[in-house]
């Protein structure tokens, strides 16, 4: 059975005040609603919030924060709750602040190539609006219902990362409500109200709110860079029998910077659903598959990219690697290359056979450590009867990228959930020791990071948190601070 969270203390005086601030229909302490916000798909133990509120305006959020700060009640920002690291699970109870009603696309500037959105705007919603202008953004392979801003402010990964960098690098301006209730702006919109085009050349204060997992303030408006959609898509697909050969190909190809996305997935991640428990790969199947998306504005540009890719393939073959040019099944290819996608974004495709649990060691790892880390992960995960369903993606700049394992498990069983948690944390330690850093880290990961951190880094982190959130009420406990 899934664990039932412990009951918390609800104070009718607080509920009454929350209704006054947020409106009668936007605040509740009803247990069945709180229960729905007490868990996610990850191995993190469920915990009940004491109250759930939905915001409709920035002013409501400001008043809420002033009240919560006065009463020293934790506030947990939430949009769709699809992170798979327990990031919205209230470590210390408090008020769950659901922002999905604030879902206006405030502006799309098709000339200057940026958009301004509210926190509840989903990837599916923004994709539809941008397509009308022939524009795009880096859509993740996650659920299309998830929030664009939550992904971007937490260093999320999308389908244009090899070309433009992480989604957090696309942030151009921000409006934020501080834990103490003040409204602040960073980037060009701080100087001219309607200018949302850049965080530079001002001091980069956006860093105060990026990668903090909602621990320093509530982002209420976000400017992001958007890009024209080139009409010619060409996806190059290859397979290799081992991780070393796949890394060699990816490194070689990434040096030419022709890809929007350069990703490889292990055989286990290529299965729908990912096998749970571990299943052996058939001997004749290659262990790694790669898809490299390239987008061009003209036929000639496309042909030039093809020429480079063919050269890389020839070079890799001459090295004697196991690389083969392969066809990816058409539907699977469409699902992975035409995002946002309901096919890969649908969680059931990852874990419906497993019992609805999924977590990851998701990391930014030096590319030359992918092969040794994967080899150790594979042994460890198989030892736990879990699939080594691993993905490697090059980010812009080549020298590092994403290394992550998507691990389904049976959340109906406490033992199987604990088995997955232990395996994932062990994987993470291996990666950290090779210089990798986890993104969107659950508290268990935060503890491992902090154990290895320079004391000056931890001091600075605590000082910034203390300055912005003196009563430690914003999503407290995250980052294991
Ligand atoms: C099958 C699957 C595949 C996935 N693939 C990817 C992928 O390819 N790339 C990727 O990046 N992610 C991926 N994810 C993770 C997830 O979908 C993204 O992280 C998603 O964008 C999170 O959005 P959300 O609305 O669910 O955020 P939530 O889970 O609601 O919130 C995430 C964090 O942001 C904080 N937060 C939310 N709103 C605000 C705000 N306005 N101000 C301050 N803090 C806030 C929350 O407190 C929490 O810490 C995947 C998830 C699944 C289930």
Average pLDDT by consecutive 10-residue portion of the chain (481 residues)? Answer: 67 98 98 96 96 98 98 98 95 97 98 98 97 96 94 95 95 98 98 96 97 98 98 94 98 95 93 90 96 96 98 98 87 74 62 78 94 98 97 83 92 95 97 96 96 97 98 97 87
C-alpha of residue 249 to centroid of ligand 1, in Å: 31
pLDDT confidence of residue 338: 75
Q: Choose one of 72, 100, 128: the last residue of a domain.
A: 100
Half-sphere CA count of 198, side-chain side, radius 13 A: 5
CA distance 144 to 293: 20
161 Cα: distance to centroid of ligand 1 (angstroms):
17
Q: Which domain holds residue 361?
A: 232-441
Helices marked H in 412-474: 414-433, 443-452, 455-468
Query: Residue 345's pLDDT is what?
Result: 56
Considering only CA atoms, give the Rg of the chain. 22
Nearest Cα neighbor of 101 from 118, 77, 117 is 118
Dihedral sign computed on CA atoms, order 21, 25, 86, 205: negative
- Calculate how far, in angstroms, residue 21's C-alpha sits from the geometric centre of ligand 1: 27
Atom index in ligand 1 nearest the CA of residue 87 equals: 49
Name the nearest CA neighbour of 251 among 374, 376, 366. 366
- Quote the CA–CA distance of 15 and 13 in Å, as a whole number: 6
Give the domain-ending residue among 175, 205, 228.
228
**Are residues 262 and 391 both part of a single domain?**
yes
Q: Which atom of ligand 1 is nearest to the CA of 349?
A: 1
How close is the Cα of 205 to the center of ligand 1, in Å? 22
Between the CA of 286 and the centroid of ligand 1 the distance, in Å, is: 32
**Of 52, 78, 100, which residue is a domain's last?**
100
Q: How many CB atoms lie within 10 A of CB 56?
A: 14
**Residues 283, 160 share a domain:** no
Q: In testing the pocket of ligand 1, which one of 140, 216, 352, 478 has its CB within 8 Å of the most ligand atoms?
A: 140
Q: Looking at the structure, tell me whether residues 325 and 434 fall in a common domain.
A: yes
Residue pair 23/65 in contact by the 8 Å Cβ criterion: no
Is 359 within a domain? yes
Domain count, the chain: 3
84 in the same domain as 27 = yes
Ligand 1 centroid–CA 238 distance in Å is 30
Same domain for 255 and 202, yes or no, is no
SS3 149: helix
Domain contains 447: no
Q: Which residues line ligand 1 (CB under 6 A)?
A: 76-84, 87-88, 99, 119, 140-143, 146-147, 149-151, 153-154, 156-157, 213-214, 218-219, 347, 350, 440, 475
DSSP secondary structure string for all residues of 81-125: ---SS-TTS-BTB-EEEE-TT---EEEEETTTTEEEE-TT-BHHH
pLDDT at 86: 96
Note whether 278 and 199 are same-domain residues.
no
What's 68's domain CATH number? 3.30.43.10
Residue 466 lies in a domain: no
Q: How many residues does the chain have?
A: 481
Say whether both 262 and 330 belong to one domain. Answer: yes
Distance from the CA of 393 to the center of ligand 1, in angstroms? Answer: 19
Q: Which atom of ligand 1 is nearest to the CA of 358?
A: 53
152 C-alpha to center of ligand 1: Å? 8
Q: Which of 294, 243, 295 is nearest to 264 (CA)?
A: 243
431 and 289 housed in the same domain: yes
pLDDT of 142 reads: 86
Q: Which two tokens stand for residue 385?
A: 């009867």
pLDDT at 382: 98
CB-based contact 126:108 (threshold 8 Å) = no
Question: pTM of the prediction?
Answer: 0.96
Residue 450 counted as domain residue: no
What CATH number does the domain containing 351 carry? 3.40.462.10
Ligand 1 atom 51: the closest Cα is on which residue?
A: 142
Burial of 145 (0-12, 13-18, 19+ CB in 10 A): middle
User: Which atom of ligand 1 is the closest one to the Cα of 77?
Assistant: 47
Give yes or no for a contact between 72 and 123, defined as CB atoms under 8 angstroms apart. no
The Å distance, Cα 439 to ligand 1 centre, comes to 11
Residue 92 contacts residue 42 (beta carbons within 8 Å): no
Residue 309 and residue 434 in one domain: yes
Pocket mutation for ligand 1, best pick of 100, 145, 154 (most atoms within 8 Å of C-beta): 154
Q: Ligand 1, atom 11: nearest CA belongs to which residue?
A: 156
Nearest CA to ligand 1 atom 45: 214
Residue 345 has, within 13 A of its CA and on its CB side, a CA count of 22
Residue 119 is assigned to a structural domain of this protein: yes
Q: Which of 53, 55, 77, 481 best tests ligand 1's pocket when mutated (most atoms within 8 Å of CB)?
A: 77
Atom of ligand 1 nearest to the CA of 218: 42
Angstrom distance (rounded) from CA 432 to CA 445: 10
Residue 129 is part of a domain; what is its CATH number? 3.30.465.10
The residue whose CB lies within 8 Å of the most ligand 1 atoms, and thus the one to mutate among 142, 169, 340, 403, is 142
Closest ligand 1 atom number to CA of residue 76: 47
Where do we find the tokens 């929350």?
18
Q: Is 294 exposed, middle or buried (0-12, 13-18, 19+ CB in 10 A)?
A: buried
Which pair of tokens denotes residue 211? Answer: 């990668």
Would you tell me the crossing angle of helices 414-433 and 370-383 to the nearest 10 degrees?
A: 160
Please check whether residue 478 is in contact with residue 443, taking contact to mean a CB–CB distance below 8 angstroms.
yes
Examine the domain organization and report whether 94 and 111 are in the same domain. Answer: no
Same domain, 207 and 356: no
Report pLDDT for 158.
Answer: 93
Cβ-based neighbours of 290, under 8 Å, separated by 6 or more: 236, 237, 238, 239, 240, 246, 249, 250, 262, 263, 264, 265
SS3 243: helix
Give domain status of residue 463, yes or no: no
Q: What is the best residue among 146, 167, 408 to mutate for testing ligand 1's pocket, by most ligand atoms within 8 Å of CB?
A: 146
Q: Which of 82, 74, 69 is nearest to 53 (CA)?
A: 74
User: Mutation test of ligand 1: which of 82, 157, 183 has the most ligand atoms closer than 8 Å to its C-beta?
Assistant: 82
Q: Is residue 471 part of a domain?
A: no
CB of 289 within 8 A of CB of 333?
no
Are 266 and 288 part of one and the same domain? Answer: yes
In a domain, 453, yes or no: no
Span from the CA of 85 to the centroid of ligand 1 (angstroms): 9
Nearby residues of 427 by Cβ (< 8 Å), 6 or more positions away? 361, 377, 380, 381, 405
């Amino acid at each position: 059975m899934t664990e039932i969270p412990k009951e918390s203390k609800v104070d009718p005086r607080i509920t009454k005040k929350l209704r006054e601030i947020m409106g009668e229909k936007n605040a509740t302490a009803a247990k069945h609603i709180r229960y729905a916000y007490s868990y996610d798909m990850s191995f993190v133990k469920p915990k009940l919030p004491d109250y759930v509120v939905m915001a409709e305006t920035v002013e409501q959020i400001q008043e809420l924060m002033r009240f919560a700060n006065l009463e020293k009640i934790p506030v947990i920002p939430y949009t769709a709750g699809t992170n798979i690291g327990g990031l919205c699970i209230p470590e210390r109870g408090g008020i769950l602040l659901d922002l999905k009603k604030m879902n206006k696309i405030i502006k799309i500037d098709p000339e200057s190539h940026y958009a301004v959105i509210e926190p509840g705007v989903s990837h599916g919603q923004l994709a539809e609006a941008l397509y009308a202008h022939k524009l795009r953004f880096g859509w993740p392979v996650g659920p299309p219902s998830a929030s664009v801003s939550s992904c971007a402010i937490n260093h999320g990964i999308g389908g244009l990362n090899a070309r433009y960098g992480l989604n957090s690098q696309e942030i151009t301006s921000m409006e934020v409500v501080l834990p103490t209730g003040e409204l602040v702006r960073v980037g060009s919109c701080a100087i001219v109200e309607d200018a949302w085009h850049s965080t530079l050349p001002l001091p980069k204060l956006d860093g105060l709110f990026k990668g903090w997992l909602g621990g320093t303030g509530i982002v209420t408006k976000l400017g992001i860079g958007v890009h024209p959609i080139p009409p010619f898509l060409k996806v190059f697909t290859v397979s290799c029998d081992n991780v070393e050969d796949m890394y060699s190909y990816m490194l070689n190809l990434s040096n030419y910077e022709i890809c929007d996305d350069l990703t490889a997935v292990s055989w286990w991640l290529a299965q729908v659903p990912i096998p749970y428990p571990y299943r052996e790969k058939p001997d004749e199947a290659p262990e790694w598959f790669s898809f490299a998306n390239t987008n061009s504005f003209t036929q000639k540009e496309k042909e030039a990219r093809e020429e480079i890719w063919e050269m890389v393939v020839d070079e890799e073959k001459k090295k004697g690697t196991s690389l083969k040019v392969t066809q990816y099944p058409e539907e699977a290819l469409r699902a992975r290359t035409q995002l946002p996608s309901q096919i890969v974004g649908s969680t059931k495709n990852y874990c419906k056979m497993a019992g609805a649990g999924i977590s990851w060691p998701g990391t930014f790892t030096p590319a030359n450590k992918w092969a040794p880390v994967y080899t150790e992960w594979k042994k460890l995960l198989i030892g736990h009867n879990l699939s080594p369903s691993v993905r490697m993606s090059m980010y812009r700049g080549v020298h590092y990228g994403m290394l992550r394992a998507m691990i389904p498990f049976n959340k109906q069983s406490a033992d199987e959930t604990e088995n997955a948690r232990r395996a994932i944390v062990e994987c993470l330690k291996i990666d950290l020791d090779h210089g990798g850093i986890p993104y969107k880290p659950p508290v268990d990961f935060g503890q491992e990071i902090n154990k290895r951190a320079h004391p000056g880094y931890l001091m600075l982190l605590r000082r910034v948190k203390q300055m912005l959130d003196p009563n430690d009420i914003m999503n407290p406990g995250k980052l294991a601070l």
